[in-house]
Amino acid sequence: MSPSSPSPGTVLALFSCKGGVGTTFLTTQLASLLALRWQLRVLLVDGVQSFGDAALMLSQHEPRASLEDLLRHPERFDPALLESALLWPLPGLGVLAAHDDPLQMRTLPPEGLRIFLETARKRFDCILFDCGRMADPAMMPLLNGADRLLPVLQTTLPMIRDGRRLLSALIAQGIEPARLVPVLNRVTPQSSPQPKTMEQALGARIVHRIPEDTALVTACIHGGQALWTLAPFHPLCQNLITLARTLIPAPEPRSAAPRGLLQRWWKKQWRWNPQHS
Ligand SMILES: Nc1ncnc2c1ncn2[C@@H]1O[C@H](COP(=O)(O)OP(=O)(O)OP(=O)(O)O)[C@@H](O)[C@H]1O
Ligand SMILES: [Mg+2]
Protein backbone atom coordinates (compact mmCIF):
# COMPACT_ATOMS: atom_id res chain seq x y z
CA MET A 1 0.00 0.00 0.00
CA SER A 2 1.11 3.56 -0.52
CA PRO A 3 2.18 5.46 2.61
CA SER A 4 -0.85 7.77 2.29
CA SER A 5 -3.42 5.01 2.75
CA PRO A 6 -2.68 2.69 5.63
CA SER A 7 -6.20 1.21 5.54
CA PRO A 8 -6.97 -2.01 3.65
CA GLY A 9 -7.44 -1.67 -0.11
CA THR A 10 -10.85 -0.88 -1.58
CA VAL A 11 -12.37 -3.64 -3.71
CA LEU A 12 -14.46 -2.60 -6.74
CA ALA A 13 -16.30 -5.12 -8.91
CA LEU A 14 -17.40 -3.90 -12.35
CA PHE A 15 -19.75 -6.06 -14.36
CA SER A 16 -21.88 -5.89 -17.49
CA CYS A 17 -25.63 -6.01 -17.54
CA LYS A 18 -25.24 -7.11 -21.18
CA GLY A 19 -22.24 -8.03 -23.33
CA GLY A 20 -20.26 -5.25 -25.03
CA VAL A 21 -21.41 -2.38 -22.80
CA GLY A 22 -17.84 -1.17 -22.15
CA THR A 23 -17.05 -2.81 -18.79
CA THR A 24 -13.50 -3.76 -19.73
CA PHE A 25 -12.76 -0.32 -21.17
CA LEU A 26 -14.08 1.42 -18.04
CA THR A 27 -12.27 -0.98 -15.67
CA THR A 28 -8.92 -0.57 -17.42
CA GLN A 29 -9.28 3.22 -17.62
CA LEU A 30 -10.39 3.59 -14.01
CA ALA A 31 -7.43 1.46 -12.92
CA SER A 32 -4.99 3.53 -15.02
CA LEU A 33 -6.46 6.75 -13.67
CA LEU A 34 -6.07 5.66 -10.04
CA ALA A 35 -2.48 4.58 -10.66
CA LEU A 36 -1.43 7.64 -12.69
CA ARG A 37 -3.40 10.54 -11.19
CA TRP A 38 -3.82 9.36 -7.61
CA GLN A 39 -0.53 7.43 -7.65
CA LEU A 40 -2.16 4.57 -5.82
CA ARG A 41 -0.99 0.99 -5.92
CA VAL A 42 -3.70 -0.65 -8.03
CA LEU A 43 -4.47 -4.27 -8.87
CA LEU A 44 -6.71 -5.07 -11.85
CA VAL A 45 -8.04 -8.63 -11.97
CA ASP A 46 -9.60 -10.01 -15.11
CA GLY A 47 -12.35 -12.19 -13.70
CA VAL A 48 -13.96 -12.92 -17.07
CA GLN A 49 -14.16 -16.68 -17.38
CA SER A 50 -13.89 -16.92 -21.15
CA PHE A 51 -11.69 -14.75 -23.35
CA GLY A 52 -11.15 -11.92 -20.90
CA ASP A 53 -9.29 -9.09 -22.60
CA ALA A 54 -8.46 -6.59 -19.84
CA ALA A 55 -4.72 -7.37 -19.94
CA LEU A 56 -4.72 -7.09 -23.73
CA MET A 57 -6.18 -3.56 -23.52
CA LEU A 58 -3.23 -2.48 -21.37
CA SER A 59 -0.22 -4.60 -22.23
CA GLN A 60 1.35 -6.44 -25.13
CA HIS A 61 3.18 -8.87 -22.87
CA GLU A 62 2.15 -12.48 -22.49
CA PRO A 63 0.20 -13.03 -19.27
CA ARG A 64 2.05 -15.10 -16.71
CA ALA A 65 -0.87 -16.67 -14.83
CA SER A 66 -4.55 -16.13 -14.16
CA LEU A 67 -6.73 -15.91 -11.06
CA GLU A 68 -7.77 -19.50 -11.71
CA ASP A 69 -4.10 -20.64 -11.83
CA LEU A 70 -3.34 -18.87 -8.54
CA LEU A 71 -6.33 -20.34 -6.75
CA ARG A 72 -5.95 -23.90 -8.00
CA HIS A 73 -4.36 -24.72 -4.63
CA PRO A 74 -5.68 -21.98 -2.32
CA GLU A 75 -3.55 -23.24 0.57
CA ARG A 76 -0.41 -22.38 -1.44
CA PHE A 77 -1.52 -18.87 -2.38
CA ASP A 78 0.61 -16.09 -0.88
CA PRO A 79 1.71 -12.49 -1.71
CA ALA A 80 4.86 -13.66 -3.51
CA LEU A 81 2.82 -15.88 -5.82
CA LEU A 82 0.47 -12.98 -6.56
CA GLU A 83 3.36 -10.60 -7.39
CA SER A 84 4.98 -13.19 -9.65
CA ALA A 85 1.81 -13.51 -11.73
CA LEU A 86 1.29 -9.82 -12.49
CA LEU A 87 1.94 -7.74 -15.59
CA TRP A 88 2.88 -4.10 -14.87
CA PRO A 89 1.70 -1.97 -17.84
CA LEU A 90 2.08 1.24 -15.77
CA PRO A 91 4.02 2.07 -12.63
CA GLY A 92 1.74 1.17 -9.74
CA LEU A 93 -0.72 -0.85 -11.86
CA GLY A 94 -0.50 -4.63 -11.62
CA VAL A 95 -2.71 -6.73 -13.89
CA LEU A 96 -3.78 -10.33 -13.38
CA ALA A 97 -4.90 -11.61 -16.78
CA ALA A 98 -7.75 -14.00 -17.57
CA HIS A 99 -7.14 -17.68 -18.22
CA ASP A 100 -6.22 -18.13 -21.89
CA ASP A 101 -8.06 -21.41 -22.40
CA PRO A 102 -11.71 -21.23 -21.30
CA LEU A 103 -12.13 -24.96 -21.86
CA GLN A 104 -9.53 -25.70 -19.19
CA MET A 105 -11.14 -23.41 -16.63
CA ARG A 106 -12.26 -24.72 -13.26
CA THR A 107 -14.71 -23.11 -10.89
CA LEU A 108 -13.01 -20.77 -8.45
CA PRO A 109 -13.12 -22.16 -4.93
CA PRO A 110 -15.09 -19.72 -2.71
CA GLU A 111 -12.50 -20.05 0.06
CA GLY A 112 -9.78 -19.20 -2.50
CA LEU A 113 -11.50 -15.96 -3.50
CA ARG A 114 -11.78 -14.95 0.14
CA ILE A 115 -8.05 -15.60 0.75
CA PHE A 116 -7.20 -13.76 -2.46
CA LEU A 117 -9.13 -10.65 -1.41
CA GLU A 118 -7.62 -10.69 2.07
CA THR A 119 -4.07 -10.80 0.65
CA ALA A 120 -4.71 -8.28 -2.12
CA ARG A 121 -6.29 -5.77 0.28
CA LYS A 122 -3.08 -5.72 2.34
CA ARG A 123 -0.81 -5.05 -0.64
CA PHE A 124 -2.87 -2.74 -2.86
CA ASP A 125 -4.77 0.50 -2.27
CA CYS A 126 -7.42 -0.48 -4.76
CA ILE A 127 -8.41 -3.79 -6.36
CA LEU A 128 -10.63 -3.65 -9.46
CA PHE A 129 -12.31 -6.75 -10.86
CA ASP A 130 -13.59 -6.93 -14.43
CA CYS A 131 -16.33 -9.53 -13.88
CA GLY A 132 -17.74 -9.33 -17.42
CA ARG A 133 -21.30 -10.59 -17.89
CA MET A 134 -22.21 -11.48 -14.33
CA ALA A 135 -23.98 -14.78 -14.35
CA ASP A 136 -21.71 -16.97 -12.28
CA PRO A 137 -22.70 -17.89 -8.71
CA ALA A 138 -18.99 -18.73 -8.11
CA MET A 139 -18.35 -14.99 -8.05
CA MET A 140 -20.70 -14.39 -5.10
CA PRO A 141 -17.85 -14.37 -2.53
CA LEU A 142 -16.30 -11.54 -4.54
CA LEU A 143 -19.55 -9.59 -4.69
CA ASN A 144 -20.12 -10.14 -0.98
CA GLY A 145 -16.60 -8.95 -0.18
CA ALA A 146 -16.46 -5.97 -2.55
CA ASP A 147 -16.85 -2.44 -1.19
CA ARG A 148 -18.70 -1.26 -4.29
CA LEU A 149 -20.39 -3.10 -7.15
CA LEU A 150 -20.59 -1.21 -10.44
CA PRO A 151 -23.11 -2.59 -12.92
CA VAL A 152 -22.37 -1.05 -16.32
CA LEU A 153 -25.34 -0.25 -18.55
CA GLN A 154 -26.14 1.47 -21.79
CA THR A 155 -29.23 3.38 -22.79
CA THR A 156 -31.01 0.67 -24.75
CA LEU A 157 -34.39 -0.94 -24.19
CA PRO A 158 -33.11 -4.55 -23.74
CA MET A 159 -30.70 -3.18 -21.13
CA ILE A 160 -33.60 -2.07 -18.96
CA ARG A 161 -34.92 -5.61 -18.72
CA ASP A 162 -31.51 -7.21 -18.12
CA GLY A 163 -30.37 -4.47 -15.77
CA ARG A 164 -33.53 -4.72 -13.70
CA ARG A 165 -33.27 -8.49 -13.45
CA LEU A 166 -29.62 -8.37 -12.44
CA LEU A 167 -30.06 -5.64 -9.84
CA SER A 168 -33.07 -7.43 -8.31
CA ALA A 169 -31.16 -10.74 -8.25
CA LEU A 170 -28.22 -9.13 -6.46
CA ILE A 171 -30.47 -7.47 -3.88
CA ALA A 172 -32.26 -10.80 -3.38
CA GLN A 173 -28.83 -12.33 -2.65
CA GLY A 174 -28.35 -9.90 0.19
CA ILE A 175 -26.31 -7.19 -1.57
CA GLU A 176 -27.16 -3.86 0.08
CA PRO A 177 -28.50 -1.35 -2.52
CA ALA A 178 -26.10 1.27 -1.07
CA ARG A 179 -23.15 -0.75 -2.37
CA LEU A 180 -24.49 -0.69 -5.93
CA VAL A 181 -23.18 2.16 -8.11
CA PRO A 182 -24.75 1.85 -11.59
CA VAL A 183 -22.72 3.45 -14.38
CA LEU A 184 -24.37 4.45 -17.63
CA ASN A 185 -21.87 4.26 -20.49
CA ARG A 186 -21.92 5.71 -24.02
CA VAL A 187 -24.40 8.47 -23.22
CA THR A 188 -25.13 10.95 -26.03
CA PRO A 189 -27.58 13.87 -26.18
CA GLN A 190 -29.68 11.67 -28.50
CA SER A 191 -29.59 8.61 -26.20
CA SER A 192 -32.83 6.73 -26.22
CA PRO A 193 -34.35 5.96 -23.79
CA GLN A 194 -33.14 9.03 -21.94
CA PRO A 195 -31.13 8.41 -18.75
CA LYS A 196 -34.04 9.67 -16.60
CA THR A 197 -36.38 7.11 -18.17
CA MET A 198 -33.75 4.41 -17.58
CA GLU A 199 -33.61 5.33 -13.90
CA GLN A 200 -37.38 5.13 -13.50
CA ALA A 201 -37.56 1.79 -15.30
CA LEU A 202 -34.61 0.33 -13.40
CA GLY A 203 -35.75 1.62 -10.04
CA ALA A 204 -32.20 2.80 -9.34
CA ARG A 205 -30.56 6.20 -9.38
CA ILE A 206 -27.78 6.51 -11.97
CA VAL A 207 -25.42 9.24 -10.86
CA HIS A 208 -22.55 8.37 -13.16
CA ARG A 209 -22.88 8.88 -16.88
CA ILE A 210 -19.95 8.34 -19.22
CA PRO A 211 -20.25 10.06 -22.60
CA GLU A 212 -19.69 8.31 -25.90
CA ASP A 213 -16.67 9.17 -28.03
CA THR A 214 -15.80 6.40 -30.43
CA ALA A 215 -12.70 8.06 -31.89
CA LEU A 216 -11.14 8.74 -28.50
CA VAL A 217 -11.98 5.29 -27.09
CA THR A 218 -10.59 3.60 -30.20
CA ALA A 219 -7.40 5.67 -29.92
CA CYS A 220 -7.03 4.58 -26.28
CA ILE A 221 -7.64 0.90 -26.98
CA HIS A 222 -5.56 0.63 -30.16
CA GLY A 223 -2.69 2.64 -28.74
CA GLY A 224 -2.86 0.93 -25.33
CA GLN A 225 -3.10 4.46 -23.89
CA ALA A 226 -4.62 5.79 -20.70
CA LEU A 227 -7.34 8.44 -21.11
CA TRP A 228 -5.58 10.40 -18.39
CA THR A 229 -2.49 10.78 -20.58
CA LEU A 230 -4.28 11.14 -23.89
CA ALA A 231 -7.15 13.51 -23.06
CA PRO A 232 -7.26 14.50 -19.36
CA PHE A 233 -9.76 17.35 -19.90
CA HIS A 234 -12.16 15.43 -22.12
CA PRO A 235 -15.58 14.94 -20.45
CA LEU A 236 -15.08 11.17 -20.66
CA CYS A 237 -11.97 11.44 -18.49
CA GLN A 238 -13.47 14.10 -16.22
CA ASN A 239 -16.56 11.94 -15.57
CA LEU A 240 -14.31 8.99 -14.71
CA ILE A 241 -12.44 11.23 -12.26
CA THR A 242 -15.75 12.17 -10.61
CA LEU A 243 -16.64 8.48 -10.40
CA ALA A 244 -13.23 7.62 -8.91
CA ARG A 245 -13.64 10.35 -6.27
CA THR A 246 -16.86 8.81 -5.04
CA LEU A 247 -15.34 5.32 -4.88
CA ILE A 248 -11.93 5.79 -3.32
CA PRO A 249 -11.36 7.43 0.02
CA ALA A 250 -8.08 8.87 -1.22
CA PRO A 251 -6.42 12.25 -0.75
CA GLU A 252 -6.41 14.65 -3.69
CA PRO A 253 -3.86 13.60 -6.29
CA ARG A 254 -0.22 14.41 -5.87
CA SER A 255 0.41 14.37 -9.61
CA ALA A 256 -0.53 17.35 -11.77
CA ALA A 257 -2.38 16.86 -15.05
CA PRO A 258 -0.01 15.86 -17.81
CA ARG A 259 1.29 18.91 -19.64
CA GLY A 260 2.10 19.28 -23.31
CA LEU A 261 0.82 20.62 -26.57
CA LEU A 262 -1.82 17.91 -27.01
CA GLN A 263 -3.20 18.35 -23.49
CA ARG A 264 -3.36 22.15 -23.84
CA TRP A 265 -5.20 21.73 -27.13
CA TRP A 266 -7.74 19.35 -25.52
CA LYS A 267 -8.32 21.77 -22.68
CA LYS A 268 -9.11 24.61 -25.10
CA GLN A 269 -11.30 22.35 -27.23
CA TRP A 270 -13.56 21.44 -24.35
CA ARG A 271 -13.62 24.89 -22.78
CA TRP A 272 -14.61 26.66 -25.99
CA ASN A 273 -16.98 24.18 -27.47
CA PRO A 274 -20.46 25.35 -26.35
CA GLN A 275 -21.78 21.82 -26.86
CA HIS A 276 -19.74 20.66 -23.88
CA SER A 277 -20.03 23.62 -21.58
N1 LIG B 1 -17.72 5.58 -23.79
C2 LIG B 1 -17.51 4.94 -24.95
N3 LIG B 1 -17.56 5.62 -26.13
C4 LIG B 1 -17.35 4.99 -27.29
N5 LIG B 1 -17.07 3.67 -27.41
C6 LIG B 1 -17.00 2.93 -26.28
C7 LIG B 1 -17.20 3.52 -25.00
N8 LIG B 1 -17.06 2.55 -24.07
C9 LIG B 1 -16.77 1.41 -24.73
N10 LIG B 1 -16.75 1.63 -26.06
C11 LIG B 1 -16.51 0.63 -27.12
O12 LIG B 1 -17.37 -0.46 -26.87
C13 LIG B 1 -16.74 -1.68 -27.27
C14 LIG B 1 -16.92 -2.71 -26.19
O15 LIG B 1 -16.12 -2.31 -25.05
P16 LIG B 1 -15.63 -3.37 -24.00
O17 LIG B 1 -14.84 -4.45 -24.63
O18 LIG B 1 -15.01 -2.61 -22.90
O19 LIG B 1 -17.04 -3.96 -23.52
P20 LIG B 1 -17.32 -5.17 -22.55
O21 LIG B 1 -18.57 -4.84 -21.82
O22 LIG B 1 -16.11 -5.46 -21.73
O23 LIG B 1 -17.56 -6.34 -23.60
P24 LIG B 1 -17.54 -7.94 -23.36
O25 LIG B 1 -18.98 -8.29 -23.05
O26 LIG B 1 -17.09 -8.51 -24.68
O27 LIG B 1 -16.60 -8.24 -22.23
C28 LIG B 1 -15.29 -1.37 -27.56
O29 LIG B 1 -15.08 -1.45 -28.94
C30 LIG B 1 -15.08 0.06 -27.11
O31 LIG B 1 -14.31 0.72 -28.05
MG1 LIG C 1 -15.04 -7.24 -21.44
pLDDT tens-digit map of 147-186: 999 999 998 888 888 889 889 988 998 999 999 999 999 9
- First vs last C-alpha separation in the chain: 38
For residue 130, which atom of ligand 1 is closest to its CA? 22
SS3 string of the chain? CCCCCCCCCEEEEEEECCCCCCHHHHHHHHHHHHHHCCCCCEEEEECCCCCCCHHHHHCCCCCCCEHHHHCCCHHHCCHHHHHHHCEEEECCEEEEECCCCHHHCCCCCHHHHHHHHHHHHHHCCEEEEEEEECCCHHHHHHHHHCCEEEEEEECCHHHHHHHHHHHHHHHHCCCCHHHECCEEEEECCCCCCCHHHHHHHHCCCCCEEEECCHHHHHHHHHHCCCHHHHCCCCHHHHHHHHHHHHHCCCCCCCCCCCCCHHHHHHHHHHHHCHHHC
Of 92, 97, 94, 89, the C-alpha closest to 24 is 97
Q: In this structure, what CATH number is given to the domain that contains residue 76? A: 3.40.50.300
Examine residue 258 and state whether it is found in any structural domain, yes or no. Answer: yes
Examine residue 4 and state whether it is found in any structural domain, yes or no. Answer: no
Q: What is the pLDDT of residue 137?
A: 75
Domain hosting 143: range is 10-276
Nearest ligand to the CA of 54 is 2
Examine residue 234 and state whether it is found in any structural domain, yes or no. Answer: yes
The DSSP bridge partners found for residue 90 are 93
Q: Is the pLDDT of residue 32 over 90?
A: yes
Alpha carbon 211 to chain centroid, angstroms: 16
The DSSP bridge partners found for residue 97 are 66
β-pair type (42-46, 126-133): parallel
Q: What is the pLDDT of residue 112?
A: 87
Confidence label for 253 from pLDDT (cuts 50, 70 and 90): low
Q: What is the pLDDT of residue 250?
A: 59
Examine residue 36 and state whether it is found in any structural domain, yes or no. Answer: yes
- Tell me the CA–centroid distance for residue 272 and ligand 2, in Å: 34
- Tell me the CA–centroid distance for residue 20 and ligand 1, in Å: 5
Examine residue 1 and state whether it is found in any structural domain, yes or no. Answer: no
Examine residue 257 and state whether it is found in any structural domain, yes or no. Answer: yes
Mean pLDDT value of segment 45-72:
87
As a whole number, the mean pLDDT across the chain is 86
- Percentage, residues of the chain above pLDDT 90: 52
Nearest ligand to the CA of 214 is 1
For residue 26, which atom of ligand 1 is closest to its CA? 18
Examine residue 2 and state whether it is found in any structural domain, yes or no. Answer: no
Q: What is the pLDDT of residue 95?
A: 96
Mean pLDDT value of segment 232-261:
80
- Percentage, residues of the chain above pLDDT 70: 85
Task: Return the minimum-mean-pLDDT range out of 71-85, 166-180, 241-255.
Answer: 241-255
Residues in contact with ligand 1 by the CB-under-6-Å rule are: 16, 19-25, 132-133, 185-186, 210, 212-214, 217-218, 221, 236
Count the domains in the chain. 1
Examine residue 195 and state whether it is found in any structural domain, yes or no. Answer: yes
Confidence label for 254 from pLDDT (cuts 50, 70 and 90): low
For residue 236, which atom of ligand 1 is closest to its CA? 1
What does pTM read for this prediction?
0.89
Burial bucket for residue 255 (CB in 10 Å: 0-12, 13-18, 19+): exposed
